[in-house]
Each structure stands twice: as structure tokens, then as C-alpha cells.
Structure 1
Amino acid sequence: MRYILLLISTLVLSFLVCATSVEAANGESKATVEIVGADKNEHSSLNLDTQVTSDGNNLPKTGEAENLLFQLLGGIFLFLSLVFLFYKNRKKSGFLIVFSILGMGLTTMEAEASVPNHLSIDQIFDFPQGSAILNNSAKLSVEDDGLVILTDNFGQTSAVWSTDNNVMDLTKDFQLETHVRQAASDNASDGLAFVMQAKRPTGQKWYTHPLSSLGAYASTSYANAIDGIPYSFAIEFDLYSNNSTVNNGHGFDVGINGQHIANVYPGMLANYETITSGSNRYRKQLHWNLQDNLKLTDGNWTKLEVRWTAATSQLSYRTSSEARNYDSGWRHMNPDTIRTELAIKQGNTKVYWGFTGSTGQYNRVEQEVIFTRIPGLVTAKSYIKMNQNGNQVAPGTTLKANSKVQVTLGGQYLSGRQNWQAVNGKVTVPNSLSVVPNTTKVNDSQIDDSHWEGNVLSRASLNDFTIENNEQTITFEAIVKDDMTGESSISGTLEGRNAIVDADAFTFRTSPSDLAFKIVSPEDNRVFFDDITAFPIDITFIDNSKTDIEQSILTDEGDVLQNSTISSDLVEQVYSINFLDSFNKLSYGKHMLEYRLKNISGKVVSRSFNFSKQSKPKLEVLENEENSYFVGDKIPFNFNITDKDSEKLSLYMQVDEKEAVKVADYRNDFSTTVSQMYELKTDDFSSGIYTFKWFLVDENDNQSPIITYSKKITIEGTLSFQESPRNFNEVDLKLSGSRKKTMPIKIAVVDTRIKPAPWSLSVISTTGFYNEESNKYAPEDFFSYIDNEEHLLIGKDSFTYLIKNYLSQKEEIVSVNETGETGFYITPNNGMHTGSYTGSLTWVLEMTPNE
């Protein structure tokens, strides 16, 4: 019976999956009923949104068809798996269930590409609204003022156009670079278009029709006027081939396969054809330089480059994608057509430019645009130069290993509507060069070497480029390595907020030297302390001359610290020198030394290495006479502190085996030993016997030896009231009434001594209870303590013990019992006068000697 129920459930599930898949595959269409009046130029139209399946425009697109196929197969295989299960063939049925679930749930997922470096477009573009385009979805990204989001939802229309101040000047050459991203999707429509339109005295058209028209083209209906953006040129990134040949269907792309890129002329009458096929008529759009069967919706960026040569009216473009390994090559437009369609023949010299786009009612796609070069915004150039020994090195020169060169990345601001703003330099050097530390400069001012990450210099900030400050440089020195030969190149880029300019790569060659060496030890940037007993410098060198070699060690200022002669009859050998004497004479801090070799032929090679000379802090802990304290006391510790190279020292304390904590910071006097005292507060200590350890850490994170204080410190606890007795007040006592329990006085005692001992608690009515009006005292039995066993009178003549010879545990809290009927009582009698009686109680806590 259970197999029959499973079989029925599977049939229902398969039907629902298939039905849902078919319903989702049905696309959208627009049916237009045109009502023509007596004047054929006057017409109105009624647009009906319908969902039909007979129109070719509504058939599942490539991605939809694949998903539909897998979902249908999933349902079928799930049905077959239950049939096999019915016949107890569990292995086959298990395989089919897995396959069917995979088929029903299959979804194409592709990684989104990171955003390339790009420009800010603040005040460069307008986003038309109102009558120009209803509900323009184009907007700037909230996180990035250089990224335009054209569409990000269903049924959207978008347009972004250059402002009046940022039109293209057709009398001048220009280049434009932009990137478009159409997010990963298998169900995308419709697309976007890059559009240029002539500036017209009668005004501009910013948007035409949605869906297949992409916001720039004429209506898809052959019966409507050709009303694409007049005098314009467009490059479309079309995500869906509209190839319906039914009557008045969406037939712009008949004969085109899949997603495609092409250029069109939206306002040209000849750009559209009315095709008659039997009883059907539809409007087809002409495409030039067509590239179809593309995959644009993979989440990667497509680069678009547009180039204009004014003298010949040559407009060219190129599309490419490194991620797809795709490059269209340069596509060149017919100059005469361009002069016509951009109204140059009518005297026009300016064009607005931007993007339009749209998405289908049921096919959502994210479409984004960035810009890496905007014509006329900033005109600048960057260059790379190389100098050696004060002479400029020509590209292609062969450099000898171990020689030193100076590299310059420079920029020149030529013109523009804006200054070149927020410019950062980036340089990538090849592995054949080693950058010399502390030589990198921006406009002759040294910058920190932290700007280098491996072979890449980045975030080297320059001032804004202006007409007055039109040239700036980044320079650094480098050594040609001796272990690499062949051709190398240096690349550089100046990346600004409103312009990114790449320098031409500087290419050179390297060749080996006949004298070369390598420093084996010490390794670069090592720290040496002033208490070392040896400082060996080990090198391996090659000298083809097999003669004596002069070796020298110099400071970064050129002072010779050591020199000697190496006698060698070998081509390759190892040599070691002890640098300790010279090291001891150096100051504390960072040093760069140059190790230089010179052979008999006068060939000089050198290498530099960096190290730091540091001093470890020293700590002396002085002994106190006292070593026993009570909780709450301050314990004084006295120290002598010495450090020869740090301005600040931190004192750390470790109590027993607990983690060490920093307790104080001190300013250091380099020239002498400094005495310091630290007072340790013991409020948070428990009673006990403690071991204290101390050490120093300087600002270079060097630590002194840990010093254990010579004595163990005793911190004694106390016998005390944990909760002090409080005042009490009783009213409405009747003279003839019975005794009455007072409000709780709440007396508690705690013994925190290291070794608890017996103790007693007593109380006495210091003054007795006295009535000022009658000048009379209350009787002796007026105030008392009563528990289950005894009735203790509390008078003014002797102490009454409430707790006697009690030995509590350490830190045990002992309270006087005031629960239930036990507690303090007041007993009035008829012999007393009416009125108020006041008195004072004295509580005595005493330590009782052990017997």
C-alpha cells in the first residue's frame, strides 16, 4: 500500500514540476492595436500586455529551455525511480532519485567578476526623469560614485547621458573607454546600448521604447513611425535574439543567434526593414559588425573602446574581455555614414553620449557601467625613464648585473575640463631589479618603503595636477640582479579620480657581470643586540679574473668602516669577516651597510643590507625591609631601570603563576640608570603568601630577564564586620503590651585571615535606654536577644556574648541569627513612662586566643 501512495505522490509532484516549468518558460509580448484616423499621420495605440505561447518571441530562451529540460527530466526520472522502488530494485531507484533531484534543482551559477579600476563620474552625467523617460532605473551605486547601475530588476527602463558640459567635440580626436557588466543569468533580457547623438537645436531625445528597442531604437511594430533617437549611432549589447516572424511580432533580430554585439543607427530610416512573409509582416533592424552567439551574461566585464579621428571622420570601436579570452578587434565605421548620422554635414560638432537599457517583465538582469577614460575630462600622459650615473638610458639598453639605476614614473597634465585629482602612482618592476631601500621619492620627498609590496609600488600619492603644477614624478633606485639575464620591462600607471593613464612599458635587457657576489649572512633587516660577541658577514663571490679583490664595508653615508684584500685564485669561493669592532662603535637604531668588491680590472660591485642595533632593557629589583602587609595596604617596590635606546619602558608584574600584566609605563633617560617606585594596591588580593616576578619591555618589544623578588610577600586578612549593625526604630509600643521583635539589625562577620582563629561577638547598651521627658531609664530587661535556647538581656552594666569562641572557615560569612522567632526584642512594662526611649549599642568583635 505504501508503494502505491508513493507512486501517486510522485505523479502529482512530477506534474506540478512540469506545469511550473512550462508556466515559467512562457515569455512576455506586447500586442498593439492601432486605430488610424482620417489623417494617417494621426493615430493612437492601445497596448495590451498578454501572455501567449504561440509567438516565437515568447518561446523559452536558451537558459530557460535548458532549465525546463532538466526539470522535465527530473520529474520523469523521479517517477521511474518510484516504479523501480515498487519492484524493490533499490539500487537503480536510488540512482534515479538522486538524478531526478539534481535535474529538478539544477541552476546555473557563475562567479561575479571584481570591478576594474575606474573613474569617478561626479557631475559628468545626467539621469533623465519625467517626460524624457518614466521611472528611470539608472542610478549611481551607493558604495561607488563611479559605478552606474542601469537595471537591477524586472521591467526596468534606464538612461544615463553626458551633461551639457561633457559632450564630445567632433573637431578633436578622442578616445573613450568604458566597461559594461551584465550579471550572470540564463534568463536575461533585454540589454543595453552605448549611444552617441548629435546636439540638435530642437533638443534631444533621451529615451524611446523599452524591451527590444533598448531605449534607443524605433518601435518594434512595423505600423508605427520610425522614431529611434535621431542623428545617432549605437553599439548594442543585446541579451536576447528577438526573431519572431509572426505578424507584427518582435523581429528586430531575425537571423541572429543568441546574445550579440553590433552597431546600429537608431534614427536612420534605412536601419529598419518591413519584412513580408505570406500574410505576416514584421519590422527587422539592420546590424553592422555583428558578433553573435556570445555569452555576455556570465558576470564578467566587457570592455568597450571608442576612438574618433576628427580629420577623417573615422569612428572605430573595439570590444574585449580578458576573462572570456575574447577580442573583437577594431571595427571601423563608414566615415560618410557617420558624417550623415551625426549631423556633421549639417554643421554639427558636438555629440551627447551615454547608455540606455531595459529589462523584460519576467527576465531580471543586473546591468552596470563604469568608465576608465572620458574624452576631454583630463588630457594627460605618463612616462617611464631610466638614468644611470646621471645619463639617460634608452629603452632596449643592456644593463650589467650589479649596476645601479634610477627609475622615474612621471606624469604631465596637458589640458582638461577638470584638474587631475587624487592621483596615485603604481609601478611594477621585474624580478631582474632589486629596489634600493629608502630611495623612493615623490617630487623629491622621500616616502616610506611600506608603499612597496614585493615588486609593486602602490598608493604613492601625488598632488593634484593643474595647469600651474602640470608635471610630477615618482623616483627610486634599483640594483640590477646578477642571477637573471634577458629582456625585462617596467610598467607604470597614474590612477586619478578622473583619469587613469598608463605609461608605455620601459624595456631593457640584463647581462651577467664578470664580478658578482651574494651576501649569505646576515639576513636583511636582522636585529643585533649590543651584548653580542661576534658579528660575522659571510659572502660567496665569483671573479673570473682570479686576482686579489679589494673588499670594503661602508655606511649609507659613504664612510668606510672596514676594508681589506681577499686573495683568490678561484673563480668561486666563500669569504667571512668579523664586523664586531665596527658594530660596537655604531649608534643604536637602523643602519644600512654597503658591502663593496673591486677587482683588479676596476670592476666594482656592491650589495646593501639592513640591520638594527638595539639594547635590551635591564631591571634591578631592590629589597624592602618589610614583607608582611594587610589587605588594603600599598606595597612599595623599588627598581633601577636601564635602557640605552628606548624612550619608553613598560613594567610587567607576574603574581605566582598567573599571566603577567603591564602595571606601569616609564619615560627613559638614555644616559643613566633611573630609579623608580611602584606602589601595589592590595585591595583586590585575598590573604595569602605571594611570589612576585618583574620584567621590562621596551618600545622595540625587547624584554629584560625576569626577576623574582627575593622575598615572599605575606598579605594578611582581617577579622571584620562584613555587614555593619544598623540603626533601628520601633514605634507604637504599649506599656502593658507583650514584648516585640525589632526590625532586623543584620550583623555579619567575616574572617579573611590566612589562618582563622576563634573569635567572639558581644554587645552592650552603652547608655541604656533613656526617656528625656521623665528623666528615667528603661528597666534592664527592656532590650534582649532571644533564641530557642536562651534569653540574653542586653544592659549597660556588662557585655552580652551573642557568639563566643567561634572558629570560622576562611572567608566564611557568619551572621547573627534573626530568622523566625529568633532575634532582638523590646519588652515594655507598666512601670515605664510613655514617650520616646533612645540608646546606643556598642558591638565588640574580639579575637579569642587558642586554648
Structure 2
Amino acid sequence: MNPEKSLADNSSSPPNGIEIDNVFQTPEGANSSVINTGLVDIVEVTPNQKNQAGAIWNTDNNMMDLTKNFEASMYLYFGDKGKDAADGMAFVMQADPNGNKAFRTGDGARLGVWDSTKKGEFGLAISNSIAVEFDTYYNNDFDSQIAKNRNHLAWNYPGEKSTYDDPWLGSRRMNHNDIQYPISNYFSNDQWHKFSVKWGASASILTYQFESLNPVSIPINVDTTFGTNQVFWGFTGSTGGSYASNRVVFEKVPGLVEGSIEEKVIDKNTGLSIQNKSVNSEAKLTYSIDVNYQSGKQDWKEVHVMKNLNDNIEYLPGSLRSIDSDGNETPLSDAYWSGNELNLPLGDLGVENKQKKIVFDVKVKSVPVNTEVSESVIAKGKNYITHSDNFNYTIISNVAPVITLEGANQEKVVDNGTDIEITGNWLDKDSETVSLYYQVNDSSPLVFEKETINDPKDTKHNYLATVSSTELLLGANSLKVWAVDKEGAQSNVETITILVRGTLKFVNVPDFEFGQFSLPLKNELLFSSTKETIKISDTRGTGSDWKLNVTLKKPFTSLEGNTINDFYYINQDNQKQPIQLNELILVRTGVTQESSIQEIGWAPNQGLALEILPSNYIGEYSSELEWILEDTPSS
């Protein structure tokens, strides 16, 4: 059901409506009443009888406040008598001295609001007012400005003499502003007709629209017209020798409740709105519906979200959920769906409970030709009903490709400097060629298979690509893969996280030589003659800490089995530390620099040293050291 169309079958079956308890009252003598059907309150302005006069106005507690913007929405019913109907009704805003007791009888042509049909006679109109009439009967003199025998819609100021023209010869006629004619020729066609009114307070402009006719905007001088910014509003109507039922049901009553409902549709592949855009057959979409209470004299009571999906859209079971203001999701039962129709109760909304967000997922069906979709959603409460704007998009007959990625949605750890391979498969049902892309982080996408022939179609095709280590940063990298067919349709996007781990390792550890020497007459400290430095590679990123230790694994021993036990490390502070078997000695600490290669050397009389004693034996000595490089946390 498209809620913007008039779809009622008869006088007791309006398309929508609310309860209006204590909102309107009927002045004494009026032939008007409120009919409660149990689901909706129907205002009968005039019954289906001859010579009736009706009026209904808001109560004192529900004045129309012209200092604030407002919107009213309703459906009008004019009976089922076609060209034989009479006389119609009028939407009226007024500050008549009689207020909501204002009531006028008289000729049916006056519709209970206009002044006398007699030339020269004034004072019978509802004063300080503006009226929009829905005239179902052509009166030869009073309506002579209108195309003959036409139902019509027009407006004017009932209490102003300028509204009427009394020619020297002939009878009085009324001046009709912005004349419009119903599309179906007659108002009285057994249909309910949508009518909406908006007031812009800052510009003092009243805008009304009847069904799909062009909106009419009226600048109003509030002081001159009403003399107050608090006015009464409602409907008047009349019948004569000809007659028809005149009825109204309301969706929105000004000031009673103000709320909104908004619908968005997001492509799950791209995360973007598809408003006025195209989407491919078999695509998956997310519908997002926001319902908000804004203000009002009452809470918005017993609100339901009512949604009817297009026939080419299929709800995905298990995806209906609500989302609170903190982003927490709560699954909702699929029992709220009946086929493609959703009827979801939200309870009452008010100052303490203003907002509800509902989301669900759908799949687009395959269509043989490009197909336009226009949808809306309704928030229907007992005392307020509002519609979202239409959301429009186009379903393309082409089916987008589908791609997989090995390890998708997982994390893969690699050492810095390591190239990686990505592999998976793709499938396209109907295109001649497909191109494959990958993207690392926010860099420009790269095509790694261009216009690959899709043969056979609707079959999985494997792919393999290499991503160079130069494209990856230290730490976490987002790698995305997708396919695009010849027609430009994009597949789903698969993502894997590549965690590039920096390394800390030796590049070079030289053999330390002490050369030839003679036994001294007294103890003597002998330093290594090796000029070559220890080099380390550190690709962990600047600011990382490291520590270099050394330990003796084998003592200095000669070929004959003699040992030199006095082995030392002299640090940068010239402190002398003995190097003993299997005991760690701290050699150096450091922090990663911008250059990944760091050298560790020593000043003269620092580093490794042997203390030679006169008592040592002559011979060729060697030992074994273990250098240990540690990755230490930053402090």
C-alpha cells in the first residue's frame, strides 16, 4: 500500500486516521458529529441528508499557535454522488468573536462560512477568517467565476467585502483565488482524498495541497486577518436540495503531537546511501528507520512502524533489530513481518523516550529490466500519524559479481619486508569480463586482473596476486579486494588485516681478534684489535627499545688445554666487568632510529679485553661468545 494515495473504499474505511478525544467540539445547532469506529475517529461535518449545516472546531486547549511552525494532515470524504453531490465543505482558520461556538446556517452555497449570496448583504460570514473551500456543487451566480458545472478548490477571506463582487447588473458572485479542479472531476467519488496544511511562522505563509495538485501558498498578515496569533480551526459544510456525506479523518493535528520518521537505504557493499542511485540485482541492502518524538501537548501513543517493501525486495530473516543511542543492537522477532509487510509496535514516545531506530536487511531480486523503486514508511500512533519522504532508487537488471578472499575478516602476521600473496575466487552470472582490484589502507586501488574473460559464466574463477612489502606499513594494514564487471557493477568487498611485524636481528657480528703478544713481566690488559663493528637491523619503527648482552659459552683455551680466565668487558663508563661462563653481561642499550641499521662499536680501551698474566702459558687460545639481542618494551 502506498500511503500517499487515496485507497479507501467508502465512507467508513479511511486509509488512516487517529483518535481525537477532547481535541474538537461541535457548536450548538450544527449537524456535525464524531463517529468512533474503534480504530479511528471520523468527523462527519454534514450527514448524507438534505438541508444540513455543520461545523467543528478545536477545543480551547488546542488552539492553533501561529507563532510556531505546524503541519496538519487529513483525509476528506465527499460521498459517492458524483455530479449530484452538494454542497461541500471548507477548511477554516478563524478568530470570530464566537470562537469555537461560531456557526452559520443559510444557503448551501455558503458552505457554513461565506457571507450572504445576496447582493449588498454583509455580516453573515465567519469573521476574522480564511477558508479553503471544496465545492461539490456549481452555483450559477455565486460560482460564475468557475468553469461551469465544475467541482473546484479555492480560497479567500470570508469576512472581507473584497471577497465578493456585487455587479451593477446581476447577482453576487464570490472571488475565488488559486482555483483548482479535482483530477477525477468530482470530489464525491466514494474515495478519501489526502489534504495537508503547513504553516511557516517566520514568513507567515500558509501552504495547502490537495492530493497531487500543485501546492498553494498564501502569505497572511496575521494581525490584519485574525488580530491574534492564537486561532481556532476546523471544518464547516452544508447541503441543500442536493446533498452528500462530508467527512474528515485526521492524521496530524497541529500542536497535539509533533514527530517525524525518516528512512534510509544503504548498500551493504559500499556502506553508502542509494537515494536516487542504482543498485544491482541480488544486491544486499540495509534499511534504516528513525522515529522521533519532537514535542506536543500529548505523548505519541501506541506508535507502530508500518512498512510495505517493494515486490522486488525480499526481507532477510533474522535481520530485524533495534539500535539504542549507544549503538547497542537488540534482535527483534520476525513475527512482526507478514510477507513483505512490517507492523512493529514501538510503544509510547515522549519527552523521556524520544527516539527509536529500527534496521533490517534485504536482498534485491533479479529483474529482467531496470526497475524504479519508490518507497516510504509510516509511523502510526493513536493520536498522530506521519509519513517519511519517498525513498527512490533503481534496480539494475545486471547482477554484480561475488568475490571471496582467503583469510577474510582475519588477521595475518608477517615480518617486515615480506611480500604476501592473496588468493580466492570470483563469480559473475552475466557479464563478459571482470576486473579485480585490491587496496592497501587509503592508497589508490590497484587492478591486478584487468578485464578477465568470464568464461564460463556463473562459475567460480580462482585468482592469485602478490602484494609487495613496500606497500605495507609497520603495524596493522587493511587490505581490501573486490571485483567490477564490464557494466561497472561492483562486488562485495572482502577485507583482511595484515599485521606487519618489525624485526630486530643481527646483520653482522665479527670475530674478535687479540693478535700475537708476549707474556708480560706484570699483569697487562689487552684489548681486541678487531675494528669491525656489530651491526643490527631494527625495523620495528622509531622509539622501540633494544638491549645487547653477551655471555661466555667456552673459556679461552689453548690447543694444549691451558686457559686464560681473566676476560672482561669495559663499558662506556670504563667500568670493568668480568665475563664468566654462562653469565649475561649488559653490553649496550638503545632506541630504534629512523635508519633501520645500527652499528655498535667501542672507543679505544673499551670493549672486550683479556688480562694477561706473567704466569699464563704460551699458546694459541680461542673462546666462544654468545651475543644476545633483546626486544624490550618502551618505558
TM-score, structure 2 as length reference: 0.56
* 2:410 paired residue number: none
**Structure 1 segments unaligned to the other structure (5+ residues):** 1-109, 244-250, 321-326, 518-539, 548-567, 575-596, 607-851
| SS in structure 2 of the partner of residue 234 of structure 1 | strand
Alpha carbons of structure 1 residues 316 and 598: separation in structure 2 relative to 1, 3 Å: same
CA contact (8 A) 2:25 2:100 kept: no
Secondary structure in structure 2 of the residue aligned to 1:178: strand
State the 1:403 CA deviation.
5.4
| Cα distance change of structure 1 residues 231 and 513 upon mapping to structure 2, 3 Å threshold | same
CA offset digits 1:776-823 (Å, max 9, x no partner) = xxxxxxxxxxxxxxxxxxxxxxxxxxxxxxxxxxxxxxxxxxxxxxxx
- Tell me which residue corresponds to 2:153: 261
> Is 2:254 the counterpart of 1:375?
yes
Name the structure where strand makes up a greater proportion of residues. 2
What SS does the corresponding residue of 2:351 show, helix, strand or coil? coil
Q: Provide the residue aligned with 1:125 in structure 2.
A: 24
In structure 2, how many angstroms separate the alpha carbons of the residues matched to 1:544 and 1:302?
A: 47
Say whether 1:496 aligns with 2:387: no
Task: Name the residue aligned to 2:239.
Answer: 359
C-alpha displacement at 1:371, in angstroms?
Answer: 1.6
Q: Is residue 176 of structure 1 aligned with residue 72 of structure 2?
A: yes
Contact map agreement 1:516 1:543 (CA 8 A) in 2:
no
SS of the equivalent of 2:61 reads helix
- Of all paired residues, the percent bearing the same amino acid is 28
State the shift of 1:229 in Å.
Answer: 0.8
Q: Which amino acid aligns with 2:237?
A: G
Superposed, 1:6-25 pairs within 5 Å as: none
8 Å CA contact 1:208–1:228 kept in 2: the answer is yes
Q: Which amino acid aligns with 2:230?
A: K
User: Is contact 2:263-2:288 (8 Å) kept?
Assistant: yes
- Map of 2:52 onto structure 1: 156
Cα distance in 2 for partners of 1:508, 1:237 equals: 36
Alignment check: 8 A CA contact 1:313 1:339 kept: no
Report matched runs for 1:462-481 at 5 Å: 462-481=346-365
Deviation by residue 1:445-483 (Cα, 9 ceiling, x = unmatched): 4444343344x3322111211111111122212234566
Q: CA deviation at 1:287?
A: 2.0
CA distance in 2, matches of 1:457, 1:364: 39
- Compute the displacement of 1:298 (Å): 1.9
Aligned-partner Cα distance in 2 for 1:433–1:289: 41
**Aligned-partner Cα distance in 1 for 2:206–2:72:** 11
How many Å apart are 1:569 and its aligned residue? 9.9
- Which residue of the other structure, out of 294, 299, 304, is the alignment partner of 1:424? 304
Paired residues of 1:138 and 1:150 also in contact (CA < 8 A): yes
Once the two structures are superposed, residues 659-702 of structure 1 have per-residue CA deviations (whole angstroms, 9 ceiling, x without a partner) of xxxxxxxxxxxxxxxxxxxxxxxxxxxxxxxxxxxxxxxxxxxx
Secondary structure of the structure 2 residue equivalent to 1:267: coil
Q: Is 1:437 matched up with 2:294?
A: no
- Alpha-carbon distance between aligned partners in 1 of 2:380 and 2:235, rounded to the nearest angstrom: 24
Residues 739-791 of structure 1, C-alpha deviation per residue, up to 9 Å, x if partnerless?
xxxxxxxxxxxxxxxxxxxxxxxxxxxxxxxxxxxxxxxxxxxxxxxxxxxxx
Q: Structure 1 residues 387, 265: CA separation in 2 closer, same or farther (over 3 Å shift)?
A: closer
**CA apart distance, 1:137:** 3.2
Instruction: Give me the CA root mean square deviation.
Output: 3.7
Size of the alignment, in residue pairs? Answer: 405
Counterpart for residue 173 of structure 2: 284
- Structure 2 match to 1:451: 336
Q: Distance in 2 between matches of 1:270 and 1:296?
A: 27
Q: 1:599 to 1:167 in 2, by over 3 A?
A: farther
| Aligned partner (choices 196, 220, 224) of residue 93 of structure 2 | 196
Gaps of 5+ in 2: 1-7, 324-328, 405-426, 435-452, 465-480, 484-490, 493-635
Indicate if the aligned counterparts of 1:205 and 1:229 stay in contact, CA closer than 8 A. Answer: no
- Counterpart pick for 1:233 among 127, 130, 133: 130
Take 1:573 and 1:288, find their aligned partners in 2: how far apart are those partners?
63
- Decide whether the 8 Å contact of 1:413 with 1:467 is kept in 2: yes
Whole-Å separation in 2 of the counterparts to 1:301 and 1:350: 30
Structure 1 residues 379 and 569: CA distance shift in structure 2, 3 A: closer
Does the Cα contact within 8 Å between 2:120 and 2:166 map onto a contact in 1? no
Residue 407 (structure 1) shift: 2.3
CA distance in structure 1 between the aligned counterparts of 2:78 and 2:393, rounded to whole angstroms? 40
1:528 equivalent in structure 2: none
> How does the TM-score come out when normalised to structure 1?
0.43
- Once the two structures are TM-superposed, the CA of residue 331 in structure 1 deviates from its matched residue by 2.0
Give me the whole-angstrom Cα distance separating, in 2, the residues matched to 1:365 and 1:492.
33
Does residue 318 (structure 1) correspond to residue 209 (structure 2)? The answer is yes
Residues of 1 paired with 2:454 and 2:65: CA distance?
72
Q: Relative CO higher for 1 or 2, CA cutoff 8 Å, sep ≥ 6?
A: 2
Match of 1:101 in 2: none
Change (3 A) 1:432 1:236: closer
Contact 1:264-1:271 within 8 A present in 2 as well = yes
Asked whether the 8 Å contact 2:55–2:237 carries over to 1, the reply is yes
The SS at the match of 2:382 is coil
Per the alignment, do residues 242 and 545 of structure 1 end up closer, same or farther by CA in structure 2, a change over 3 Å counting?
A: closer
Deviations 1:385-433 (A, max 9, x none): 3456798523446656655443221211111111111211123434554
The verdict on how the C-alpha distance between 1:488 and 1:181 changes in structure 2, with shifts beyond 3 A counting, is closer
Structure 1 pair 146–445 and aligned structure 2 pair: CA distance change class (3 A)? farther
* Residue from 275, 295, 308 that aligns with 2:167: 275
State the match for 2:224 in structure 1. Answer: 340
Whole-Å Cα distance in 2 between the matches of residues 365 and 486 of structure 1? 42
CA distance in 2, matches of 1:503, 1:289: 28
C-alpha deviation, 1:319, in angstroms: 1.9
Structure 2 CA distance for partners of 1:341 and 1:368, relative to 1, 3 Å = same
1:474 aligned counterpart, secondary structure: strand
Whether contact under 8 Å (1:122, 1:145) holds in the other structure is: no
- For 2:216, the equivalent position in structure 1 comes to 331
Alignment partner for residue 104 of structure 2, among 191, 205, 208? 208
For 1:139 and 1:451, locate their aligned partners in 2 and report how far apart those are by CA, in whole Å: 32
C-alpha change, 1:363 and 1:141, in structure 2 (3 Å) is farther
Question: Is 1:298 paired with 2:194?
Answer: no
Amino acid at match of 2:343: R
In structure 1, distance between residues paired with 2:23 and 2:230: 16
C-alpha spacing 1:228/1:238, structure 2 compared with 1 (3 Å): same
Instruction: Give me the whole-angstrom Cα distance separating, in 1, the residues matched to 2:376 and 2:361.
Output: 15
Q: Which residue of 1 aligns with 2:463?
A: 600
Tell me the secondary structure at the aligned position of residue 421 of structure 1. strand
Amino acid at match of 1:319: F
- The alpha-carbon deviation at position 490 of structure 1 amounts to 4.8
Letter in 1 for 2:89: L
Residue equivalent to 1:720: none
> CA 1:415/1:391 → structure 2, altered by over 3 Å: closer, same or farther?
farther
Greater CA radius of gyration, 1 or 2? 1
Amino acid at match of 1:136: N
Distance 1:308 1:544, change over 3 A: closer
Structure 1 residue 190: deviation in Å?
2.2
Give the drift of 1:545: 11
Which residue does the alignment assign to 1:115?
14
SS in 1 for 2:386: strand
Give the SS at the match of 1:212. helix
Q: Report what 2:588 is aligned to.
A: none
Question: In the alignment, is the contact (CA less than 8 A) between 1:271 and 1:286 conserved in 2?
Answer: yes
Kindly indicate whether the alpha-carbon contact (under 8 Å) linking 2:267 and 2:274 is maintained by their aligned counterparts in 1.
Answer: no
Q: 1:270 is paired with a residue of what secondary structure?
A: helix
Aligned residue in 1 for 2:294 = 414
